[in-house]
Every structure is written in structure tokens, then in C-alpha cells.
Structure 1
């Protein structure tokens, strides 16, 4: 008797529309939960950051701080109500979102206009580390924040031709795995470290087991390149695409 076929991948739980521009960055904010629903930030090619309520499934605010240049990265600091946004205007903005505010309170001038997203390493301390694209398109600059003090610059050897960094992650363990499908815009790991998801140029979202890297699912919904993926603490997966849509998926519920 033939083994039963695995069930087909599910459809998105719901879809957010209204950015009117390709979506390049996503980030969940658990600290602003309304009746158990996290807030989702999205960064668009038009330079806007949309703040989405997952309860009403509508944008509740729009942040405009990058002069119409693409927003490529979004990250909340673990302490307080501060959001970092990186744009192709060579600027990284720090937003104060406390008590309904949406003001830029500080910024860092970047030295490379590439596609590389920045990265932070921060606990509950006032000081934190920030990695940003550096000079010449092939360096990485490490800053101590909020003083913006340079810690070091990571430079390739003189005879090395490593090319432009395309992603950064400040991390305290490491390993490597070669993916069979090229053209990955972003990789994200679920907070419980059981599964990870990739955003593919081939319009697909791929889901893998984190420890074994066994493929678990291929999600085909978007009609253009998927440019960003993000997990909420409850396991909800968001994916943003060049087709101007954000899909939300409930996969492999956390035990």
C-alpha cells in the first residue's frame, strides 16, 4: 500500500494590503500587545514604516523619516519603546514610540548604501552593540550605542575579494549550512529555535527544522520576490513581498 501523501501547505491565515509599495522589512513588537495581539512594523520601498494592528488587520500609524528612500531594516530595542529603522538614505533612525509618539530622537549616518541590514546585540542594559555596513561596501563597523563610539572595523585582507556584505548578525554561536535554492533575501529563526524560514527571490517562503535543516514546507502565495520574513513570539510568521502584500501564516504551533 502506498504511503499517504503529506497534506498540502496551508493558505495564509490572512493578508495585509495597503503599503502601495514593495515591502522590504518586517518586525513584530510584542511589547505593545492589544488584547493578546502583537504589533507588526513593515518597511516599504517608498520610505515609509507602517504600524499594523493584527487585531483590526489595518495600519494604525505611518512613520516617515527616510525621505522617500527604501526602508531595509526594522528592530525594536529590548528596553523601552524605541524602534530602529534603516533606509537607503544612508541613515539609521531611532524612533520614540512611547505614549503614542512617533518622533525621531537620534540617528546614525551610514557609510554604505548597499542592501545589507544592520544588527544589534542588546540585553536589558542601557548600552548595546550595533553592527552596520562600513566604508567601501566591504567593511563592517561595530559601534557602542547610544554613544556611537566605534568599537572596531571588520575589514577583509588586502588580497581578499569577498564582495559586499549582504547580511549581518551579531551572534554568540555559529555554524554553516548550504541551501539548495539560491536567492535568499532574509532568514529568520522562530524564538523557540525549533524552525526557521527563508524569504526567496523565487516568490517562495521555505520552512526548515532549525537543528537538522530538514525542509518542512514550501509556501507559494506571493506573485513576486519575497524580501523579508519575521516570527512573532507566538509563532505567527509574516512575509513581505515585492508584490506589495504581507502574508501571515500559522505553522507548526508551539508546544
Structure 2
């Protein structure tokens, strides 16, 4: 007999708007935290022990917050809003003060991507003012690194991920575009290394496993597109995954490389084995589109959580496949 689908271990309410983005910080010695960004401009910092919001940062003039992350420790928060601003916040010693803001000029929904290149030095990639442009700057100095614009007409940049390969000189960037194309950029050379047409529709989201050099992307269709990088940095399409219902908002891979989670427009979270893309579970709880998913970064695998944020203004937290279950 198959197991009945699990229920959330608990839910977080009171965000006051759709939950566009989630970010865990559970690896420090301190309290495990979950950061969420809402459609009403609020960033909630949830204490996962008390299951309450420890702090609410009202930023971005009430505009939708579409991405949140933290620099190194949880003392500096970085957020991106639909007010075309990226903001850095000082959270140390109970503060929530705005350190500085950066104007992106991008009217799309493309979330930023950040990469630590040395202790306390980061690269930040974001969609620029031009439709197809990706800008990269260094933080905290805000020194411009480069601007990446493809040669062909690919439409708006939809999603990006910066990463640092084990071999090779500098960082690479994966980008999904409105025409369904995926491009791999060499940031140092400011050149395209590879390009594939992954979807007939705009690429809504992508996630890339930097250890296994495999990635997956989603769109408004009923299919996830799987792909890999070969030794020459060429993107190679693999077998995709058919979905019951169309539309994926976001995907994430658990740090141990065993699970993939997808946030569905059909109100469901789907869990797959990352190795074989075998469907493992369908999590049903939300009453509207699921917009964001994130796995926690707990050091102890038994404490790992999956969080899902929905348009229904609730965050569900799940404990799944944490005891070394066969997820091949």
C-alpha cells in the first residue's frame, strides 16, 4: 500500500499578502529563521522555534517583494522589490535599518542571484533596464562587473542563477528567457558559452545543481525540462517530466541532491527524486497558487524542512524524506 500524502507539520500565517519568496537561515548557532517576502512589501523574519514572526521589515514602499536573501550571517538582509530597488538592511542587534539601495530599472519579475566570491565579497546579478539585459555588480562596493545582452532577440530575461564551477577561471551564469531559451554565460569573458531552446513558452523558473552539473526549468506548460552541462560547457537537453496540470512558479533542489520540489499553479507542491526525476509525493494544503518553495539548510538532516509559500498568504512547513528514505 502506498503511504497517504503527508500534512504540513505547521503553518505560518499573518504575512498579509502572497508569498513570493522564501529563504532559510538555520545553519548558524543561533535561532533557525525563515525569511519571507510578500506581495504587500513586507519581509517577515519567522522564528522557527516559536513559529512566530520575530520581526517585520516594511520595505519597497509597499511594492511586492520578489526575492530575499542574507549575506553570510543573518545580520545583513538583501531584498528585491517591484519598486525596481534592491535594498540592503542591517539586522544586527535587533535593528532593521536600511543600509543602502540600488535601482535596477527592471520592470519584470526576474529574481536576483547572488554568489559569494570571497569572504564578505559577493556578486549580484539582476535583470537590467533593457528587456534582455543582465547586470552584475560586486557587493558591498557596488562596482559594476559587466552587462550581458544576448545577440538574438530572446525577449525578457525571466530567471537567472550565478554559480562558480570547480574548474575554470570565473563564475558562470544560467539565464532563462521569454522565448523559452536557456543561455549559459561566461561572466569573465562576457560571452555566451551555450544556448538551447528548453521550452515553447517563457522560462518561468530554473534551478541548477552545481555539484552534478544538472538543471531543470519550468514554464506555463505541463512539462519540466531537464538538462545538463557536458565537459565542454554545452547545455544538453535530457528527458523532461510531464505534469498533471500546467504552470510552475519555482523549483528547488535539496542540498543533499536527493529531492526536487516544485511550486505549482494548481495549488500543489510536487516532490521528485532528483536522480531519476521519479514522482514521490504531491503535497496538498494550499487553496491558491504556490509561488515559492525552499529547503532548509539545517546541519542535522533530521531537522530539514521544506517551506512552501502561496498566494493564499500562508506558508506551509513540511518534514519529508529526512530519514534517508530511498528516493532513487
TM-score, reference length from structure 2: 0.71
Partner of 1:236: 305
2:256 to 173, 176, 192: 192
Distance in 1 (alpha carbons) for counterparts of 2:149 and 2:281 = 38
**Could you say what secondary structure the match of 1:83 adopts?**
strand
Deviates further, 96-105 or 169-178: 169-178
User: How far apart are 1:212 and its partner, in Å?
Assistant: 2.1
Partner of 2:159: 167
User: How far apart are 1:163 and its partner, in Å?
Assistant: 2.1
Which consecutive unaligned segments of at least 5 residues does structure 1 have?
Answer: none
Partner of 2:16: 20
CA distance 1:233–1:45, change in 2 (3 Å)? same
Q: Is residue 79–residue 124 contact of structure 1 (8 Å, CA) maintained in 2?
A: no
Distance in 1 (alpha carbons) for counterparts of 2:82 and 2:277 = 33
Partner of 1:180: 242
Deviation >4 Å, runs of 4+: 31-34
Q: Please, what is the CA RMSD of the aligned residues?
A: 1.7
Aligned pairs for 1:80-119 (under 5 A) are 81-119=75-113
User: How far apart are 1:70 and its partner, in Å?
Assistant: 0.2
CA distance 1:151–1:212, change in 2 (3 Å)? same
**Could you say what secondary structure the match of 1:121 adopts?**
strand
Partner of 1:132: 126
Distance in 2 (alpha carbons) for counterparts of 1:98 and 1:75 = 15
Q: How many residues align?
A: 247
Q: Is residue 25–residue 74 contact of structure 2 (8 Å, CA) maintained in 1?
A: no
Higher relative CO (Cα under 8 Å, sequence separation at least 6) belongs to 1
Distance in 2 (alpha carbons) for counterparts of 1:33 and 1:69 = 33
TM-score, reference length from structure 1: 0.91
User: How far apart are 1:175 and its partner, in Å?
Assistant: 3.3
**Could you say what secondary structure the match of 1:163 adopts?**
coil
